[in-house]
Structure 1
């Protein structure tokens, strides 16, 4: 049994990366002594309920954690959750405790760590100017230097994992090393209905945040309905104080339409119920690094649609009849699937959590002894 630290910059976004963090803790807690280091206020109990996980490990937060989180939350929404500076602070916090551990696992992308580590990269958080991610931000070089990665070299004893081939390409471009692809954990819901018994409705699962584009999902359903299809929409979004104003905008847009239903912070049972009983799943975030929501739709036996960019193309096997390039294209693509009575064809168990748990345990077991 090793002493393992799991590092995650913030769990307050309540998205796919946070699901991965809790699954990593769950995978390792029965075979190692695990401690989670994070800058976040969310409790493991509420996150376990949200993600249907069973993580039960000590959580180390810095002194003044609540004030630190409030300071980040007070940033204008256009800055998002400020993951890079959070990670810089988290690395400094962990450095004071690193000698207590045999290994570390980052579930929040790449770090320069002083001990053997497994690093799960959703997308590079530093040196983004070297990737194709678009605007890296004016402070990218500063955060990269403060993180100890300004030279674009990761520790030699870091075992790299990535959530998709698309992300692996970005890591290789930024750091000259290609991670092993390890798809995130997505289990099929327990009781999916047969296709003919499902409602002709769209489900959108994800954070109520600008990057997830729930307002775009509403416009797409508006457009499909304008073509004569009686389609309704369920937005199932975890809310975060980071995006409080945007969440209110989404709620207002939903309240203006009788066919749009908003479930804030729905428990896992409600999410599964919607996935099991509806035909269509929709993702609207461009260049999704993997697309856990898209994988959830596939696992539930739905017909899934997503932008034609990023790791979600892999989830949908690059099918042109499931991918779209614009809002108008999405309207046409969804409408065409309804008119053709398109059925799901992709395997439902491709991303099961037991596969992910085993891969994480194997990666930790393969780490070299600490220096």
Structure 2
């Protein structure tokens, strides 16, 4: 049994990366002594309950001033822009003080320069983004990179096992650091649905953080256009609204209030989410270049017909199908309208990303790193 630290910069955004963190803790707790190290306002147990993970046996360590720093960054987010790298730099420096208590560190918060052997799960690189033509580094990227970015040699070294959430992300890491991670897709179990396809509502569900990069307002515009094409569809916009995006969440609520066919549901529990997924026909994602697409995989796992932008890791989730991937709002409206006219049930396998596969891969990576 190894002493394992799972490092996660913040659970406050309550998205797919946070689900991966909780799944990692759950998968390793049965075989190792696990401590979750995070600087978050969000309580891990509350988020685990919402996402359906079991953290029994997992200790939680919040660095000194961790919650205060998280609170300040959340309040300042609308003014300072991207902040994940800043949170990671704070977490890494805090962890260095206690690293000797552990045998191995697991970063579920992307690449870090860590003082002990590590498994690093990259959702998307967080440092050196100014070196990517389409990167979004923010004003202080070079500072955070100087403080916490690992060197190329570190990530290629024998003490680091590097993983990525999709082949697309692995290619980005390779371009940035000169080494390609192994691909371990995030865990998404099949959703047990009792409602047959023919009895499901002719409606759309879009799930994700209420944030500009997720573009939920595009989902509302897509439904507007589908209805203009004669299909009486409705939309559920479902997600979390962290304090960092409170202004944007208000814009979503205002847009929904103008449309009787759009409903906004915030911070729903797992049971309510599965009810929505199992009783509606269509799932819609609107973020371009999604690094993997947890919500897209959940639509598939619930037996929905799923649609997503034609970019990023979500192309892998949807098997690169041209009738499911779009380039614009109008293109998406065309695809959804065609699907509504055809009425054909989904054909994509629902168990491709099951949780037991993810857990086995993480345990194997930890065992190899400890050995």
The TM tier, using the shorter chain, reads over 0.9
SS in 1 for 2:76: coil
- Cα contact 1:2–1:33 (8 A) shared by 2: yes
Q: Which residue of 1 aligns with 2:347?
A: 345
1:130, distance to aligned residue in structure 2 (A): 2.8
Tell me the alpha carbon deviations over residues 27-58 of structure 1, each in whole angstroms, 9 at most, x when there is no partner: 01111111111110111221012101112311
Q: Which residue of 2 aligns with 1:103?
A: 104
Question: Which whole-Å CA distance do the structure 2 matches of 1:232 and 1:37 have between them?
Answer: 41
Question: Which whole-Å CA distance do the structure 2 matches of 1:72 and 1:155 have between them?
Answer: 32
Question: Which whole-Å CA distance do the structure 1 matches of 2:226 and 2:131 have between them?
Answer: 39
Alignment of 1:40 onto 2:30 = no
Written as runs of structure 1 = structure 2, the 5 A alignment for 1:163-202 is 163-202=165-204
Distance 1:184 1:49, change over 3 A: same
1:333, distance to aligned residue in structure 2 (A): 1.3
Question: Which whole-Å CA distance do the structure 2 matches of 1:210 and 1:152 have between them?
Answer: 35
SS in 2 for 1:141: helix
Question: Which whole-Å CA distance do the structure 2 matches of 1:129 and 1:29 have between them?
Answer: 37
Q: Which residue of 1 aligns with 2:251?
A: 249
Question: Which whole-Å CA distance do the structure 2 matches of 1:322 and 1:51 have between them?
Answer: 26
Distance 1:79 1:350, change over 3 A: farther
Q: Which residue of 1 aligns with 2:127?
A: 126
Q: Which moved more, 1:334-343 or 1:309-318?
A: 334-343
- Cα contact 1:13–1:81 (8 A) shared by 2: no
Question: Which whole-Å CA distance do the structure 2 matches of 1:208 and 1:138 have between them?
Answer: 23
Aligned length: 369
Distance 1:76 1:36, change over 3 A: closer
- Cα contact 1:123–1:167 (8 A) shared by 2: yes
Written as runs of structure 1 = structure 2, the 5 A alignment for 1:1-371 is 1-56=1-56, 57-77=58-78, 79-80=80-81, 82-149=83-150, 153-154=154-155, 156=157, 157-369=159-371
SS in 2 for 1:74: helix
Q: Which moved more, 1:76-85 or 1:278-287?
A: 76-85
TM-score with structure 1 length normalisation?
A: 0.96
- Cα contact 2:41–2:71 (8 A) shared by 1: no
Runs of 4+ aligned structure 1 residues displaced above 4 Å come to 78-81, 150-153
- Cα contact 2:155–2:162 (8 A) shared by 1: no
SS in 2 for 1:203: strand
- Cα contact 2:300–2:306 (8 A) shared by 1: yes
Q: Which moved more, 1:123-132 or 1:244-253?
A: 123-132
Question: Which whole-Å CA distance do the structure 2 matches of 1:107 and 1:134 have between them?
Answer: 20
Q: Which moved more, 1:18-27 or 1:242-251?
A: 242-251
Any stretches of 5+ residues in structure 1 without a counterpart? Answer: none
Question: Which whole-Å CA distance do the structure 1 matches of 2:149 and 2:85 have between them?
Answer: 12
Any stretches of 5+ residues in structure 2 without a counterpart? Answer: none
Superposed CA RMSD in Å reads 1.4
Question: Which whole-Å CA distance do the structure 2 matches of 1:73 and 1:141 have between them?
Answer: 21
Question: Which whole-Å CA distance do the structure 1 matches of 2:369 and 2:272 have between them?
Answer: 39
TM-score with structure 2 length normalisation?
A: 0.96
1:340, distance to aligned residue in structure 2 (A): 1.9
Q: Which moved more, 1:335-344 or 1:118-127?
A: 335-344
- Cα contact 1:192–1:301 (8 A) shared by 2: no
1:148, distance to aligned residue in structure 2 (A): 4.3
Question: Which whole-Å CA distance do the structure 1 matches of 2:80 and 2:318 have between them?
Answer: 30
